[in-house]
Copies of this chain bind each other. A is one copy, B any other.
Amino acid sequence: MVARMHRSPCPRKGRTGRPRSVETDRAILDATRAALVDVGWGKLTMSEVATRAGVAKTTLYRRWANKNELVVDAVAVLFDELELPDRGCLQADIEGVVLQFGALLARPETKTALMAVVAESTTDDALRERIRSAIVDRQKRLVLLGRERAQRRGELPPDGAGPEGALAATRAVGLIFDVIAGAIVHRTLVSAEPVDAAWAHQFSTLLLTGLGGLG
């Protein structure tokens, strides 16, 4: 385990020396997103980000070990927007979150960066962990919440009792999450087609009633 001094300045009491500027933090993340919009992930450079943020390259590297980690943090805050307002029934809830996530992925900064860092994470465990905690968990929470709400409404059967019931519930949440998020990502990035109301409706129908329901 490397002695990571990056991130989390963690303003300890006995801290000496000049403290890190919090404005600088924000300026850098904002600049990163702006640069992603303009030049995309592939052409994104640390120098460019530094220049846009009005900051020295050194300052970037003091906080983030590399481009990947910076971008994860820059993009992560966008996922805080995601919410799950109660629209009365499960299908409406699903369509709502699908549209929200679709809109988020339609933004150029997300589109170009998200899969890139995921690809990098296949050979970088620290990065994968950062993605999980900064992005994935934020999304999974919504699936959990929606499922519980539907169970309260009686739209979905309650979790089985005992430990194996809890395990099955966890598995189900994982599966549903992969299906929903995966489908949206795939349509947006691979198929390159928009996640609109029509698609969201068709998708939610499939999810609720299975393949037979599509006809």
A27 sits at the interface (CB 8 A): no
Report the minimal beta-carbon distance from A149 to chain B, rounded to whole angstroms: 13
A8 within 8 Å of B (CB atoms): no
Determine the distance from Cα of A94 to Cα of B39 in the docked complex, in whole angstroms: 40
Q: Number of A residues whose C-beta is below 8 Å from B? A: 59
For window 86-133 of A, CB contacts with B under 8 Å fall at 90, 108, 111-116, 118-124, 128, 131
Residue A184 interfacial (CB < 8 Å)? yes
Contact B202–A42 (Cβ < 8 Å): no
The one of B175, B191, B215 in contact with A136, judged by C-beta atoms closer than 8 angstroms, is B191
Q: Contact: A156 with B115, CB < 8 Å?
A: no
Q: Is A1 an interface residue (CB 8 A)?
A: no
Cross-chain contact of A175 among B116, B124, B175, B206 (Cβ < 8 A) = B206
**Cβ 8 A contact of A203, one of B111, B114, B175, B190:** B175
Compute how far the CA of A210 lies from the CA of B210 in the bound complex, rounded to whole angstroms: 4
* Sampled A-B contacts (17; CB under 8 Å): A39-B123, A42-B119, A42-B124, A113-B119, A115-B116, A119-B119, A157-B215, A172-B202, A172-B214, A177-B191, A178-B190, A179-B186, A179-B203, A181-B186, A182-B184, A207-B210, A210-B210
Q: Are B156 and A212 in contact (CB under 8 A)?
A: yes
For the complex, what is the distance from the CA of A182 to the CA of B41, rounded to whole Å? 21
Which residues does chain B contribute within 8 Å of A108, judged by CB atoms? 122
CB distance from A184 to the nearest CB of B (A): 7
Q: A208, B206: Cβ atoms under 8 Å?
A: no
Is A54 part of the binding interface, using a Cβ–Cβ cutoff of 8 Å?
no
Q: A115-B118, A156-B211 are in contact. Are A123 and B40 (CB under 8 A)?
A: yes
Selected from B136, B179, B184, the residue in CB contact (under 8 A) with A206 is B179
- Whether A185 contacts B183 in the complex (CB less than 8 A), given A203-B175, A211-B207, comes out as no
A20 CB to nearest chain B CB (Å): 18
A186 is contacted by which of B160, B185, B193 (Cβ under 8 Å)?
B185
Nearest B-chain residue to A198, judged by Cβ = B171
